[in-house]
Homo-oligomer: A and B are copies of this chain.
Amino acid sequence: MTERILVNQLAARPDGPVVVSGWVETVRDQKKVQFIILRDETGAVQLVNPATRPDPEAEQDAAALALTDAISNLAHGTFLTVTGQLKHDERVKLGGIEIKIGALQIAAAALPETPIAADSSMDKRMDWRFLDLRQRRNNLIFRVSTTLEHAMRQYWVDRDYVELHTPKLMSSPSESNAELFALPYFEDKTAYLAQSPQHYKQMAQAAGFGKIFEIGDVFRADPSFTSRHATEFTSVDAEISWIDSHEDVAAMQEELLAAAIQAVKDKHGQEIAELFGVEVTVPTLPFPRIPLVEAHEIVKARGYEIPRTDGDLDPEGERQISAHVQETYGHQFVFITDYHPEIRPFYHMVDPATGLTKSYDLLFNGVEITTGAQREHRIEVLEQQALAKGLKLDGLAHYLDFFRYGMPPHGGFGMGLARVLMLLLGEASIREVTFLFRGPTRLAP
């Protein structure tokens, strides 16, 4: 391995020889002195070279001439390794250190014209996502994501959850017949891409796994162009047995999120504040809960009339509720509970006392990030609920079989990873926080 020193470790080292590797962020090619700002995944450092310009009248060092010439010709983005002398110098604005270049070895030179700039349109930036991701704030997004995910997994592993990888190729739709990608499979069969791991995380309950989680890809042939939708996204899912109601799921999810956001704040809080202007807030427990009917009253009292007639909230309604919760409880999260079965999937359990589902949506800073529920585990009731939605039991045959040989009461949630990241960092679109976004008109690079 090249014995390079990461840029963020230079300040702690004494003056002397060092090797650094990274890419050229800028070159200042002055007549007498040349500066390179070199960036790696941990930071940026200034490199300096006293220029040796050709002078027919002087005796000159060929190597020094060549080095000066090489630096003059460096394109932004070129990856290189520099051997040089580290010097601490308070006058250097960038971290108070500088490296005097000894030798410079180009790994791969960049074309001289960079196709995008930091202020290019989002679509153009997505065309050249690998260059866009060189920005420090974009790099930070994925370090935050890594920390967030790892903290969630740690929470679950500490509590003996089993991590699953459920199949994405299925013989029948996992959620609904809408927004479904289909593909030819072997022997003239048709396969469908999983819209969620719903069937299989429930299957794990029938298998007696008790508590499971999965962080994996799901697919929706969704023609939307909103800031919150994608045709492929990372879904964070959990499912647990022996619950009394959706409240047990909500209690787990709020603890999970508090632990994960705490980990992000501890590791990246300062850098997030610097690069995103956002103070990471660890949510207090429990999160506020508001029944859907009450939510409607609150939104109405704030002067907003929800246009949809099915009883669900719309995006502006969600923003209004979150604003209310922020003003009233100083909280960024709120569980909306007690949805009518008409606006929920057939597999949500209905509370006989109210006729409403034992389910919730979780809003974070005005956007829905989760649906959670207790599932109906009694096969007779489940079949009735499916039929009441106009579904054909044939298409659900494999799923329904899971319930015929014993099933514990259970429930869980699914959460969009990109939505959580977007809202945590105050970004405007999930496109900004997805490594490579996929949408109806976006399948490359």
Contacts and interface: CB of A to CB of B under 8 A. Distances in A.
Interface of A: 1-2, 4, 21-24, 39-42, 75, 77-79, 81, 107-111, 114-115, 128-131, 133-134, 139, 142-143, 145-147, 149-150, 153-154, 157, 160-172, 181-187, 189, 191, 193, 199-200, 203-204, 206-211, 216-217, 219, 221, 223, 231-232, 234, 241-244, 248, 251, 377-379, 398-399, 401-409, 417, 435-436, 438, 440-441, 443-445
Task: Find the residue from A130, A143, A242, A404 having the highest chain B CB count within 10 A.
Answer: A130
Nearest to A409: B107
26 contacts: A1-B248, A2-B242, A21-B408, A24-B406, A41-B208, A41-B209, A79-B408, A107-B407, A111-B404, A128-B401, A130-B405, A146-B162, A149-B163, A150-B157, A153-B153, A167-B435, A169-B231, A171-B444, A185-B443, A186-B440, A187-B440, A200-B435, A200-B436, A216-B216, A216-B217, A398-B445
Contacts of A406: 23-24, 75, 77-79, 107-110
A170 B435 CA distance: 13
Contacts of A184: 182-183
A117 to B, nearest CB: 13
A161 B133 contact: no
B234 A40 contact: no
Nearest to A202: B130
B146 A401 contact: no
B162 A143 contact: yes
A245 to B, nearest CB: 9
A405 B167 contact: no
A181 to B, nearest CB: 6
A130 B205 CA distance: 9
Contacts of A114: 405
A187 B193 CA distance: 18
B232 A441 contact: no
Contacts of A143: 162
Given A408-B21, A440-B187, A130 B79 contact: no
Contacts of A440: 186-187
Of the candidates A199, A200, A248, A406, the one having the most CB atoms from chain B within 10 angstroms of its own CB is A406
A289 to B, nearest CB: 16
Contact of A142 (B77, B150, B164): B164
A196 B77 CA distance: 27
A1 B283 CA distance: 22
B407 A79 contact: yes
A234 to B, nearest CB: 5
A110 B405 contact: yes
Contacts of A79: 406-408
Nearest to A401: B445
A23 to B, nearest CB: 5
A77 to B, nearest CB: 4
Contacts of A172: 444
A99 to B, nearest CB: 16
B130 A207 contact: yes
A444 B398 contact: yes
A139 B208 contact: yes
B243 A208 contact: no
Contacts of A161: 146
A133 to B, nearest CB: 4
B435 A164 contact: yes
Contacts of A21: 241-242, 408
A111 B216 CA distance: 33
